[in-house]
């Protein structure tokens, strides 16, 4: 029964990692850039949601939408100011810029509002204990999982059924050929940053509701773990990011369940090392797809 409870908790946590990982993998799939500022967009989303709920007294769903909208604009701003001028630069230049942008956001945020943490109200979502196969499961875990799954389904619809989704897939496959076919590559890249950042913002609000405490450096560890999740699934592949995030959440919960809670953060990076050694293309990577 304890195992079922830990699995549900792990899947709920993993769904948050998956939402952040989708942003990493979308951006990498199109511009081959690891956007290390993505975890800080997640942090901004958490704070936008917090102030929406506590200051503006907006209900959870509208706060979630507002955080997604603000983070989408923020993501486009980051792309236009920091990454667009480096579109044709070396990989290392873009990577160093991404780290610089991340530090600028974190410490700029601390300079503007201070480093003190905040706490989400405990009554944002209804909290009940649900008995499932003898296990006691918090209703918040299921609601958070439900919201995450809905957002992932919407993303799949956008990518596979809309004009901008088709443009994103075309640019991901061959940017030069897509441009010759009349696709606006710059607008497509900006749209990718917007969608990925919106998902990170949603993850920030969900994280705040679930874990209560938020602070300006909260995006560092979840951001790195989401990167691990993206690599685990196969960087640049959307289903891989989803599965990688869920798997990582379950692994962390099981590590805690076996009494090694102090090692749960380390477990993610052990997974990263093992994946890079034995399956560098990830679970859904290109080499695996070619074999199927």
In a domain, 69, yes or no: yes
Mean pLDDT by 10 residues, the chain (292 residues): 81 94 93 92 97 94 96 97 91 93 96 94 80 73 89 94 94 92 94 97 95 94 94 90 94 88 88 90 66 32
Residue 284 resides in a domain: no
Residue 181 lies in a domain: yes
- Is residue 234 a part of any domain in this protein? no
**Which pLDDT score is estimated for 133?**
66
Yes or no: say if 101 and 82 are a contact pair by the CB < 8 Å rule.
yes
Q: What is the rounded CA–CA span in Å between residue 91 and residue 80?
A: 17
* 42 in a structural domain: yes
State the burial class of residue 239 (Cβ atoms within 10 Å of its Cβ: 0-12, 13-18, 19+): middle
Q: Give the per-residue pLDDT at 89.
A: 87
Query: Structural domain of residue 63, as residue ranges?
Result: 14-219
Q: For residue 286, what pLDDT is reported? A: 62
Alpha carbon 264 to chain centroid, angstroms: 19
pTM value? 0.92
**Number of domains observed in the structure of the chain:** 1
What's the pLDDT score for residue 151? 95
Residue 115 in tokens: 């480093």
For residue 120, being part of any structural domain is answered with yes
* Phi-psi label, residue 192: left if phi above 0, alpha if psi -120 to 50, beta otherwise: alpha
Does 254 reside within a domain?
A: no
Domain presence at residue 240: no
């Amino acid at each position: 029964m304890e195992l079922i409870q830990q699995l549900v908790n792990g899947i709920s946590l993993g769904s948050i990692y998956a939402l952040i990982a989708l942003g990493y993998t979308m951006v990498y799939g199109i511009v081959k850039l690891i956007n290390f500022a993505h975890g800080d967009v997640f942090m901004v989303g958490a704070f936008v949601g917090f102030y929406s709920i506590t200051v503006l007294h907006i209900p959870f769903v509208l706060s979630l939408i507002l955080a997604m909208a603000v983070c989408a604009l923020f993501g486009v701003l980051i792309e236009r100011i920091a990454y667009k001028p480096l579109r044709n630069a070396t990989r290392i230049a873009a990577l160093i810029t991404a780290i610089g942008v991340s530090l600028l956001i974190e410490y700029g945020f601390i300079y503007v509002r201070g480093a003190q943490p905040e706490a989400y109200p405990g009554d944002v979502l209804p909290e009940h204990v649900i008995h499932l196969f003898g296990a006691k499961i918090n209703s918040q875990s299921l609601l958070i999982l439900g919201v995450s799954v809905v957002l992932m389904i919407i993303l799949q619809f956008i990518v596979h059924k809309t004009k901008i989704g088709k443009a994103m897939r075309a640019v991901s496959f061959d940017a030069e050929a897509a441009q010759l076919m009349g696709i606006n590559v710059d607008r497509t890249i900006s749209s990718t940053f917007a969608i990925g950042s919106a998902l990170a913002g949603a993850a920030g609000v969900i994280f705040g509701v679930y874990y209560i405490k938020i602070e300006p450096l909260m995006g560092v560890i979840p951001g790195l773990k989401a990167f691990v999740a993206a690599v685990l699934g196969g960087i640049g592949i959307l289903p891989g990011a989803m599965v990688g995030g869920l798997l990582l959440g379950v692994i962390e919960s099981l590590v805690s369940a076996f009494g090694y809670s102090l090692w749960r953060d380390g477990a993610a990076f052990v997974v990263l090392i093992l994946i890079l050694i034995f399956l560098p293309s990830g679970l859904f990577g290109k080499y695996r797809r070619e074999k199927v």
